[in-house]
Amino acid sequence: MKSAWGALVLAAGKGTRMKSSTAKVLQPILQEPMVFYPLKALSECGPIPIGVVVGYGKEGVCAYLKDKWPQVTTMEQRLQRGTGDAVKISSSFWQDFDNLLILPGDVPLITADTIKRLMDLHLERRSSLTFISFSASNPAGYGRVIRSDGKIRIVEERDASTEELSVREVNSGIYAFSTFALIRYIDELSCENSQGEYYLTDLIEIFQQKNLKVDVVLVNDEDEFLGVNDPLQLAKATALLKNSLVRRHMEEGVKCADPESTWIGPQVTFEGEAFLAPYVQIYGNTSIGERSSIGSFSILRDCKLENDVCIHPHVIIENSIIKGNAIVGPFAYLRDETELGQNSFAGKFVEIKKSKVGSGSKVPHLSYIGDATIGEGTNIGAGTITCNYDGKRKHPTKIGNRCFVGSDTMLVAPVELEDDVTTGAGSVITENVPSGALALARARQRNILGWKKNKEDIKDKNDGGRSE
């Protein structure tokens, strides 16, 4: 049974003007590759099979798609011979659909609502081809939409006359095709143009010559169709998208002290009201619980904050979970599947890596906790380190409930402190400590009397008793 719709994203181009060895569609916008955005918009239009045409930098593009979009089908365009060629070489993917959406991979501001509008009008008018156009304030770089004698055609900028270059209605590069018509006539494309490429836009004229219905959807918001071809356009697209996302979250109740300095990625969600101080950055698959607050210059990636969490300034949290009423920072770094329990505290100049800190436990300052499990109600003294790496492998440390770890304790993993253990300050713990015990592991203090005077006598003797 045929699917009503399929979608094809054209992502084979090098993007020469980007001046980068990285494929253009992998250039980051709010820490997501550019191609993420059209794929996300398509995914919000329903269960539509999606194909991506790759070319330059295919290894990197395919690796990203396999990791983040495993449901997507990829096809390679070995030679960059234009959009028409890209669609033709991918016919084995789309020929069994009734209709095909085609999007460029460099339109990060496109929305699902606009794509749905295109799909609805295409079906409603029973068109063989429907495409989106818009009026550009600066049409440079775009194909011009030329309307004359009741017909429509698109002229690429390099092939346009002076009169045609003055037209401001331009092609967005977003199409809906009837695949019955597409597969029948795509072989009629030629490469007789200044670029020597097969232009998909030439099908507009071919279809009309065959008396097939072609429609245009003219959309007012030109920003939505901003193509990204160089670093300046990349920065512009990033700013537009960033402002749109911040505004949307503020409309839903998030409080931003300084929206201009606040950065929020496209996958970030807020469970309710939250407070963001100036210069906060939140990226990746991150969720922020109700009434949580995030201090200035903090950066969060791929993490979950539950309700009433307080993040002080200058904190970095990556791929971690912070449970309700926990406090972090300032100047803390939590990473690699760390979990802070309810009412816990990770304070000043603390790094916690791949560890679980139990409810009500505290790591107040100047400590490194790695590959560790800490129970409930435990206090970790200043300067404590879990020595988890032996030069070849990482080893775990386990600290029980209600422990008191003295300042400057070195816990040489693998090691376990059972419940209610106390360690003396400055101890190097290399063996397991049973419940309720005090562990001391340091040299006995020696006070050498007269040390200062003896040193001075030795110096005078060596100087021959001379004085300056």
Length of the chain: 468
Set 312, 314, 365, 395: catalytic member: 365
Asked whether the CA dihedral 260, 262, 266, 270 is positive or negative, the reply is: negative
What DSSP letter does each residue of 246-279 carry, written as one string? HHHHHHTT-EES-GGG-EE-TT-EESS-EEE-TT
Place of tokens 């376990």: 416
Q: In the sheet that 255-256 helps form, which strands lie side by side, from edge to edge?
A: 255-256, 274-276, 292-294, 310-311, 327-328, 345-348, 362-365, 379-380, 404-405, 422-423, 438-439
The answer to whether residues 217 and 133 touch, using CB atoms and an 8 Å cutoff, is yes
Helix then strand count (H, E) for the chain reads 10, 41
> Distance between CA atoms of 196 and 47, rounded to whole angstroms?
36
Q: Is 249 one of the annotated active-site residues of the chain?
A: no
262 φ/ψ angles, rounded to the nearest 5 degrees: -95, 135
> Distance between CA atoms of 76 and 10, rounded to whole angstroms?
10
One-letter identity of residue 211: N
Return the active site residues: 365
